[in-house]
Amino acid sequence: MKITDHLLESARQVPSPNCGDRPDQTDIGLIVIHSISLPPGQYGGDQIERFFSNELDCTEHPYFQQIEGLQVSAHLLIRRSGEVIQFVPFNRRAWHAGESSYKGRSNCNDFSIGIELEGTDVEAFEPAQYQQLVGVCHVLEAAYPNISLQGITGHSDISPGRKTDPGNGFNWQYFLSLLKKS
């Protein structure tokens, strides 16, 4: 894996309009892990891509009416197959964290990279997703000096009481053991 011009070369690029300038492009020091599936619990469709691109037809499924009008994105999505899709260049602020705080700093979107895993809070993630996530974390650590492998957290940790992802389906112990091995 390699990052060139703030893009992961091996990722399929699907630009999202839901991003903005970071207050300080050199202040990227946190990786936030999320989970998403649209509709909830269904995998493999293009609904996440269309949602992050503001092109989701909210009449397709009753759940989509709950998220209609939301403008959100992440830097990356790792599908259950291990495919990686990039929506926002790493030097830009993706709209993934919302109201959030990490170690006393608010507005985590300003200084973090958001990585979505295709999944739910309760279902186990796939080995291919863990493998890709480990590779992505290592390449981000190499490309952005303020990122350390100790600076990886879940959405639930920066938005407690408001968010629950990546949830119990994400095996932190397994992920951290893979991260240390590679």
Query: 112 and 137 in contact (C-beta within 8 Å)?
Result: no
How is residue 140 written in tokens?
A: 């981000």
Number of Cβ within 10 Å of residue 8's Cβ equals 23
Decide: helix, strand or coil at residue 112: strand
Of 116, 123, 126, 141, which is the active-site residue?
Answer: 116
Helices (H), 27-147: 47-52, 64-67, 127-143
Distance (Å, whole) CA 74 – CA 14: 11
User: Is 116 a catalytic site residue?
Assistant: yes
The HSE-up count of residue 180 (CA atoms within 13 Å, CB side) is 7
Q: Is the peptide bond before 15 cis (omega within 30 degrees of 0)?
A: no
Which sequence positions are flagged as catalytic? Answer: 116
